[in-house]
Amino acid sequence: MYSKNLKLNLGVDNVILFQFYNQDQKPVNISGSTFTFRIISQNGDNTLYEKEMVSLNDATGRVKVTITSAETLRLPASVASYSIAVASGNLEQAVYTDANSGARGTIDIVDSVLPEFTSSAILTIPDQAPSDNIYNTSTIVGTGDSLVTLQLDTGALTGNLSVQGSDDATAATPNWYSIDFDDLNTGNTVSQINFSNATEKRAINVEGFHPYLRLNIGIASGNVTEIVYR
């Protein structure tokens, strides 16, 4: 496969097409093969994204990967690497991307469609639960934006997560109401996410104008190691 630098635009659907050739620059028949596309942090420490590719034409070796708008919101604007692995029969091999048999290419993840990058802030969770192991996070004060994106890092968490809003979180007894939100891991709009011994990164979007927001987290076991938002 001839390698070229790729560009991924945050906030829109990205369809990336590939065609595979042999050393004689002839198209390769890829029947019976499964290809996996990965985005890897530039330092090589983290897999940022992974998805199975879709065949367009087996005989001419043409495949594609579609990175949806919602999926891009989990990626940082940065220079990263991409790789492609092929599984055929009992073997899984790298698809080489350069003349030196290097198995990675370069992908630029850019904010060309979305506004300029905004750094994330941290939500804290009080050490003491009010009752029944239900924890309320610190409060997000609205800035007039109609979209807030949050990411949770969980450690063997069994429990549930919901989102609450309020018109006045400064009152002695604020009136908190439940808000439906988008689970970016599944693409579904939900009122609650249930976790079962989950160690993962979980991203959600909260749409609409809410003066104050917080997360309501029930923890039966495990923990939430970090919550960031922007």
Q: What's the CATH code of the domain at 30?
A: 2.60.40.3350
**115, pLDDT greater than 60:** no
Average pLDDT rounded to a whole number, residues 171-200 = 90
Let me know if residue 185 belongs to a domain.
yes
Which pLDDT score, from 0 to 100, does residue 114 have?
Answer: 55
220 and 148 both lie in a single domain = yes
Is the pLDDT at 101 greater than 70, yes or no?
Answer: no
Do residues 86 and 28 lie in contact, with contact meaning Cβ atoms separated by under 8 Å? no
pLDDT tens per residue across span 24-40: 888 889 999 999 999 99
As a whole number, mean pLDDT of residues 45-62 equals 91
The three-state secondary structure class of 160 is strand
Which residues share a beta bridge with 194?
160
Q: Do 130 and 102 lie in a common domain?
A: no
116 falls within a domain: no
> Which phi and psi angles does 35 have, rounded to 5°?
-110, 140
The whole-number pLDDT of residue 130 equals: 67
Task: Identify the domain boundary among 110, 143, 162.
Answer: 110
Q: How confident is the model at residue 21 (pLDDT cuts 50, 70, 90)?
A: confident
Same domain assignment for residues 106 and 134? no
pLDDT in tens, 146-184: 788 899 999 999 999 999 999 887 777 788 999 999 998
Residues 78 and 129 in one domain: no
Alpha-carbon span 70 to 189, nearest angstrom:
12
* pLDDT, the chain, mean: 86
For the chain, the distance separating the N- and C-terminal CA atoms, rounded to the nearest angstrom, is 38
% of residues, the chain, pLDDT over 70 = 90
Report residue 1 as tokens.
Answer: 């496969």
For residues 205 and 153, give the distance between their C-alpha atoms in angstroms, rounded to a whole number.
Answer: 15
Q: What are phi and psi of 53, to 5 degrees?
A: -85, 160
Final residue of a structural domain among 85, 110, 135: 110
The closest of 107, 29, 106 to 62, measured between CA atoms, is: 29
**Residue 102 sits in the same domain as residue 129:** no
Residues 128 and 225 in one domain: yes
pLDDT digits (tens, 9 = 90+) for 218-227: 999 999 999 9
User: Mean pLDDT over residues 207-212, rounded?
Assistant: 88
Number of structural domains (the chain) is 2
In this structure, of 75-79, 90-94, 105-109, 133-137, the range with the lowest mean pLDDT score is: 90-94
Q: Is the predicted pLDDT of residue 56 greater than 90, yes or no?
A: yes
Same domain for 177 and 139, yes or no, is yes
136, 98: one domain: no
Q: Is the dihedral of CA 49, 56, 18, 33 positive or negative?
A: positive
Q: Is residue 113 predicted with pLDDT exceeding 70? A: no
Structural domain boundaries, residue 93:
6-110
131, pLDDT greater than 80:
no
Q: How many CB atoms lie within 10 A of CB 184?
A: 20
